[in-house]
Amino acid sequence: MDKPVLDFLLARRSAPIQELSEPGPNAEEIETILRVATRVPDHGMLTPWRFILYRGESRVEVGEKLAELAEKLEGPLSDARRQQELTRFSRAPLVIGVVSSPKESIKFPEWEMFLSGAMVALNLMHAANALGFGTNMITNWYSDKEEGRRILGLAPHERVIGFVHIGSHPRNTPDRPRPDVAGLVSEYSGPWSES
């Protein structure tokens, strides 16, 4: 048993995005993070996911476009609400969009491809954490809007799995209550019925 790996996994938690700071991962670290991320089940080797990197000035550009979209949908925004949208992608040094990009297949359903992408996102977070960075994954309102997805660089057939915010963090985030695993487990006892 590899106890350090288990201890690492048992200590996983999300860092508050506003606490993620420079420096973010460098080019070599990003490549490592992405290589680890792709080590997931992928039936048929379809690679039904991809990544979008938001860094530097592109994070500010995205915020401006999201603020415009929010105002178009909601009407005039308060200063606080506008600031919230302007900084959506600029709070952390790096945001990696994990995108579900399903492929045509008669054998593998699209929902399975999406699940493969969700595993990519979790592996990505584990890899960044293992390199010493804090992470937090969100989707937010713009992920459910066709125009929001277009602004963020997704094609019409693609969907957001998550936006992983990555940056330096002191790793002092308090843990939150975790589920009682015993209450989530049952032994198989035949097909489900209401009785």
Alpha helices in 27-172 (DSSP H): 27-37, 57-74, 79-86, 110-130, 146-151
Distance between CA atoms of 32 and 25, rounded to whole angstroms? 10
Distance between CA atoms of 153 and 130, rounded to whole angstroms? 28
Length of the chain, in residues: 195
Distance between CA atoms of 116 and 99, rounded to whole angstroms? 11
Is residue 17 marked as binding?
no
Is residue 137 marked as binding?
yes
Is residue 39 marked as binding?
yes
Is residue 193 marked as binding?
no
Is residue 12 marked as binding?
yes
Cα-flanking dihedrals φ and ψ of residue 167, to 5°?
-170, 175
Is residue 139 marked as binding?
yes
Q: Which residues have CB under 8 Å from 157's CB, separation 6+?
A: 101, 102
Is residue 126 marked as binding?
no
Which residue positions form the known binding site for FMN? 12-14, 39, 43, 137-139
Which residue positions form the known binding site? 12-14, 39, 43, 137-139
